[in-house]
A = this chain, B = another copy of it.
Amino acid sequence: MDLEQMIVSMCQTAKKAARVLANTPPQAKSQALLQAASRLRQSGEILLAANLQDVTTGQKHGLPAAMLDRLTLTEARIEAMAKGLEIIAELPDPVGETISQWRRPNGLEIAQIRIPLGVVGIIYEARPNVTADAAGLCLKAGNAAILKGGSEAFRTNSAITDILAAAAVAVGLPEATIQLVRSTDRQAVALLLRQDRFVDVIIPRGGEELIRAVTERSAVPVIQHFSGICHTFVDSDADLQKAAQICINAKVQRPWVCNAMENLLVHEAVAAQFLPAFVTDLEKVGVEVRGCERTRQFVPQVKAATEADWRTEYLDLILAVKVVSSLNDAIEFVNTNGSGLADAIVSENYSNVRRFLNEVDSATVYANASTRFTDGYEFGFGAEVGISTNRLHARGPMGVRELTTYKYVIYGSGQIRQ
């Protein structure tokens, strides 16, 4: 069987499995997830042996240390995967919810019912834990999952997938509930992206380059997560103590994630009071500050920011700072330079807060809180599928509910159209 036949056949099988899963009761899905968790725990030796092969090959090929670290399984990481599946098992089942229901004058009753998306393709890099996590989330929402992980983790991902698929089979679900593309041929992804007859959505998880490559080549709809260039605007009426705490948190707590602050905007009325002490605080914790000309009037020690800085996702302890003359300028700046993911205003002024929240066109907009809360767990979704920068279908943090769609069920008693 050549590669194309293999991919097409996987996708067809997944479609069939999806039909079964769509009508599988919540209990059976939870059972499969709990089974998978317990089987992962019992299979430590097999998993670690497979992983050792991947890690050894990775070392031979000179993979960077950070990548080797992400690739490496440990007892603790296996336990974390198992625990993750148990948490997903406990989540409320999103399928079957009546989203809305109404009766027409002719007596037809129309119900809008939440159902699974169908077949979900997940394309990711070298973290083996994504295999269990993504498969678990797809299964919870009643979807069949086709996983394509990074080649570096091929043996580890194969071993994890074998265990998950066996758990599904053990509770009577189709084996194709969870499938892994078992090829390291680069063509495999390209072929998968063309199966729009069978695959309903593709979710790439990883760096911007991966996401862009997938989006450009995909005939299947893609839920993207592009860069996070997040702003905090310290308004003229800000509580400056709150502002400092929120900004430090947004920049420093986990600088390498998408919801960390990259650009700080400060209203000119408070710049003199706010910036010197705050920049000193930033420098104390190792943040490199790059400022606009006006910023450097207040903190002359900082580097000059270039135009490119305003549109750079540093993912690092670097912050670009700009003094703005008005709320209008701040809103305009965010809408022009931001990535529409997470932006905050710090202000005690009611009207200014309201305008910022309404007029900043981002998936999540904050008043007086850190942008770091843009996250499925922090939103209370219990799990996170990803954070979408799409405008269609799902926007912002995605939970299992965002892996569903709906159908209309119409109950009649012989109605015909006049």
Q: Chain A residues in contact with chain B, CB under 8 A?
A: 19, 22-23, 102, 104, 108, 110, 117-118, 200-201, 216, 219, 221, 223, 239, 242, 245-246, 248-250, 253, 335, 357-359, 361-370, 372-373, 378-380, 390-393, 395-397, 405-417
With beta carbons under 8 angstroms apart, the residue of B118, B363, B370, B373 that contacts A391 is B118
Residues of B within 8 A of A358 (CB): 23
Q: Contacts A200-B391, A392-B392 given: A410-B369 contact, CB under 8 Å? A: yes
Contact B117 A373 (CB under 8 A): no
Asked whether A407 and B363 contact (CB < 8 A) given A390-B221, A414-B239, the answer is yes
Name the one of B19, B245, B366, B393 contacting A410, with C-beta atoms under 8 angstroms: B366
With most chain B CB atoms within 10 A of its CB, the pick from A379, A393, A408 is A408
Is B22 in contact with A361, judged by CB distance below 8 angstroms?
Answer: yes
Q: Which residues of the other chain, B, contact A367 by a CB distance below 8 angstroms?
A: 410-412
> Which residues of chain B are within 8 angstroms of A410 by Cβ–Cβ distance?
364-367, 369, 373
Q: Which residues does chain B contribute within 8 Å of A411, judged by CB atoms? A: 367-369
In whole angstroms, how far apart are the Cα atoms of A104 and B369 in the complex? 13
Residue of B nearest to A359 (CB): B23
Residues of B within 8 A of A412 (CB): 366-370
CB-defined contacts of A373 to chain B, threshold 8 Å = 108, 410, 415, 417
Q: Give CA–CA (A395, B363) in the complex, Å.
A: 22
Query: With A102-B380, A373-B417, A416-B372 in contact, is A19–B361 under 8 Å at CB?
Result: yes
Give chain B residues whose Cβ lies under 8 Å from the Cβ of A245: 414, 416
Chain B nearest CB, measured from A165 CB (Å): 23
**When chains A and B are docked, how far (Å) is the Cα of A392 from the Cα of B408?**
14
- Residues of chain B lying within 8 A (CB to CB) of residue A361: 19, 22, 118, 407
Minimum CB–CB distance from A24 to chain B (whole Å) comes to 11
Residue among A23, A108, A117, A380 facing the most chain B CB atoms (10 A cut-off) = A108
Measured between C-beta atoms, what is the minimum distance from A416 to chain B in Å?
Answer: 4
Complex: A380 Cα to B414 Cα, angstroms: 19
Contacts of A219 in B (CB 8 A): 216
Is the pair A370, B335 in contact by a Cβ cutoff of 8 Å?
Answer: no
Residues of B within 8 A of A414 (CB): 239, 242, 245-246, 368-369
Min C-beta distance of A19 to chain B, whole Å: 6
Q: A104-B378, A221-B390, A395-B405 are in contact. List 11 more A-B contacts (CB 8 A).
A: A23-B358, A102-B380, A108-B369, A110-B380, A216-B219, A221-B221, A362-B407, A365-B409, A369-B413, A369-B415, A395-B407
